[in-house]
Structure 1
């Protein structure tokens, strides 16, 4: 929006609020309270250092501001109706009361206090301002009051004399009867009139000095106090006609000074407490952030450990399953070895039976050999008749000898086989014992893996509880963080309010 554009909309004056601002002797804003800043629509930093022209509405006649500054620079207060422009182009009506601020007799700035005007005063001032802006109507502003400058206006002001005029009017009530009496008693008219007129002037001057002078001084004293100069000492004279007013004004100044001093002391304590709260809250915020970071790292570590423990439990369960399979294979191998042992034992028994049979065969061959020898002896006795029988006996004897040799060889092989079988039986038994040990070890490993899995599951449950506790603690920490932020905002708002009140109190000179 252009800087001087207007919308024609009237913004309502905030009921119950007072707008306070201070300008330096050059007219630049050095202080503005929160209500002033809010109603203006500008940021505080945009107002400080600017003149009140930033709030000037184009509907206000230039004569109003000329009269304002002429009155203030002459050391007098100014009061009038003003139409201000807000930052968004809306307008607001205010009753402005401006007072010079002094250090001694030197003007150090101007205090402006604005209140809500009545609608009647706004409706009265608005058309008159329009006429002044257009240069019609013979109007002028004097000390904030809109006056007519034509003959009718001057006549009206004459008919409404000031304090001096009223004194003259009262004195004239005695002058004319005295002059009439002088004429009645034959006293010279002109000398008497001159004397009476001189006496009237002197008495008027004495009355003005005696009565109006103290009243004007009381007005000036009131202006100093109204400007916030509570260090100003109101002069009190017991023989003054304004003695009671001066005394009351001094009491007002002393009472306000005491209240402002107590309020300043309280505000200083509140300001110190607010600063301590802000400092402590800043430290608490840093600690809370550090705790939140530590909890985040702890949560990540717990999640990592939980994942590792879960992997351990899964691995242990897989190992237990493999151990079950290994145990099953070991049991099968044990059964197979046991079957081999039994088969070897059966072979050993069979070999022993064969050895027994060989022994029988050897016995039969020996008997056959004996019988063949006997047959050969008998055949020799028989001579030619037994020659054929002798040949048969010789063949039988040779067969018996070969049978015996074969039986011996078979016995030798059988014995060797028996020895091998016995050695194989021993080794097979050793293998079975080893297989039993392997099976026992596999079963022990299975039990150990089961214990590991159970422990891992218990650890996983415990770590899960730790994770839940850490998550709950993290939630509490997050709540604490939010509360710390709320406290920080409240502390900042409190500090702003304290600064605002402190700034307002600094307007009073103690």
Structure 2
């Protein structure tokens, strides 16, 4: 449903150098309109297609103008005139409309309307006449009317003026009558003409005029019909040739014009078909490229996410390697301290072993002294026995000394046994200490190896981070290129769509012409 917008009173300029083209079906519904027509009307193409030209009718235009337009077209004749149209925003624009019936054989299949920019003089002449016709329409009287686009006065003065301006038929009859006047005057002067003779001359004049009009005007009317047929876009129509000169030259010129235009339209159609095929291929290829670009963009996003995860993992590995190296340093320091402690224990054990050996030597001396003391005590006991009563007290002392020597020997033996056990323990501890020392040296070597390995891991992680940064930069660069490609794909898609639209417009324009009798024009769908 179209909304009628009131007239704004503003005049919109006709686009310079443009031509408005539209085609309607036999019922007056628009089936085709070119971009210039759409732009100047201000309506979207979807609103124009299927609508009538009444959508563009301005309230300042009298209804007789459109009645004459359709009456003329439906009679099979072309119509030309000045019209005032209304745009979608209420502004008005003046056009010179040339409308022609489109035919399939003798059947009218639609109407072709071509609008151009009128001269300001024709607008200045038409505007007051249309205003006057509108006033007459409102007053219920008719002084001015349109006939095939021409504004005429239909009152007495108008008919008198047209009578004083005879057409071609009247001019031919008038010329023949004027040519006979001298002969009639001479015959009357010499008394050679009777009433019946005059009547016979008048009858002959009438018959001669009719014959001359048929010979001259008949071919001219046919040539006019041929020209109108070609003007409607029916290039399949064959211009008849057979009139006398100069009409023959006009017929031949129309035939050449038809052949030339037909050749141009055929070549243009062939070129448009090729361009249309190429445009379809471009559009199809662009859709495939767009899909591939989107897929590539998705893959790059996934790659970037994976690279980010790898980078985070490598960074975590590097951090853990640093922590491991720090812990290894601490472990190495503790191992070195433990090794120093083991060395100190080994030294202490060695000192104990040396002291044990010295004690063993001292015990050996003590045992020797006890042995000598025991021998002396035995000797003293023997001498005391020899002394008898006098040596009894000395014998008691000798017995006590002997007992002490024996106890000393026993204690020395026990000490020797303890010292031997201690030496065995010291020897075992020395072995174990030496073994622990070796193990600590192995631990120190392992810690140093671990520290070196962690350093290598850290260095490798740093190199991996550098490589990942380069990969990330490359992925970012590829993503930027992909984004540019996507933008270019969109631009190409827009250009391809615009090209397709322009090709369709040109293809539609080419369908205004009928090249072969069986062709269907845009008016026939």
Q: TM range, normalised to the smaller chain?
A: over 0.9
Q: 1:179 touches 1:192 (CA, 8 Å); kept in 2? A: no
- Is there any run of 5+ residues in structure 2 with no aligned partner, and where? 516-525
Aligned position for 1:162: 167
Q: State the distance in 1 between where 2:106 and 2:308 align.
A: 77
Q: 1:37: Cα distance to partner?
A: 1.3
Quick check: 1:257 aligned with 2:262?
yes
Do structure 1's residue 218 and structure 2's residue 227 form an aligned pair?
Answer: no
Shift of 1:4: 3.4
Q: What's the CA shift for 1:375?
A: 2.7
How many Å apart are 1:189 and its aligned residue?
A: 4.7
Q: Provide the rounded CA distance (Å) in 1 between the counterparts of 2:5 and 2:452.
A: 91
User: Contact between 2:219 and 2:243, CA under 8 Å: does it hold in 1?
Assistant: no
Measure the CA separation in 1 of the matches of 2:170 and 2:47.
49
2:108 is the alignment partner of 1:107: yes
For the pair 1:304 / 2:305, whether they are aligned, the reply is: no
1:87-236 pair list within 5 angstroms = 87-135=88-136, 138-236=143-241
Alignment-derived partner of residue 414 in structure 2 = 409
Deviation per CA, 1:50-75, whole angstroms, max 9, x where unpaired? 11111111111111000000111111
Matches within 5 A, 1:381-460: 381-460=386-465
Give deviations 1:309-358, integer Å, cap 9, x for gaps. 22112212211211111111111111111111111111111111111111
Aligned residues of 1:182 and 1:192 also touching (Cα < 8 A): no
- Asked if 2 retains the 8 angstrom alpha-carbon contact of 1:211 and 1:241, the reply is no
Secondary structure of 1:311's counterpart equals helix
Indicate conservation of the 8 Å contact 1:316/1:452, yes or no: yes
Cα drift, residue 175 of structure 1: 3.0
Deviates more, 1:147-156 or 1:301-310: 147-156
Among 472, 477, 480, the alignment partner of 2:477 is 472
How far, CA to CA, are the matches of 2:10 and 2:324 in structure 1? 84
Q: Is the 8 A contact 1:182 1:188 kept in 2?
A: yes
What residue is the counterpart of 1:7 in the other structure? 8
CA shift, 1:8, in A, is 2.0
Q: Give 1:379 shift.
A: 3.1
Question: d(CA) in 2 for partners of 1:56 and 1:247?
Answer: 40
* In structure 2, distance between residues paired with 1:273 and 1:431: 88
The two structures have a TM-score, normalised by structure 1, of 0.96
Q: Root-mean-square deviation (CA), in Å? A: 1.6
The residue aligned with 1:20 is: 21
Aligned mates of 1:442, 1:365 — CA distance in 2 = 58
Length, aligned pairs only = 510
Q: TM-score, normalised by structure 2?
A: 0.94
Between 365-374 and 105-114, report the one with greater CA deviation.
365-374
Instruction: Give deviations 1:407-452, integer Å, cap 9, x for gaps.
Output: 1111111111111111111111111111111111111111112212
* Structure of greater relative contact order (alpha carbons < 8 Å, 6+ residues apart): 2
Q: Deviations over 1:3-47 (max 9, x none)?
A: 232222222211111111111111111111111111111222221
| Cα deviation, residue 382, structure 1 | 3.5
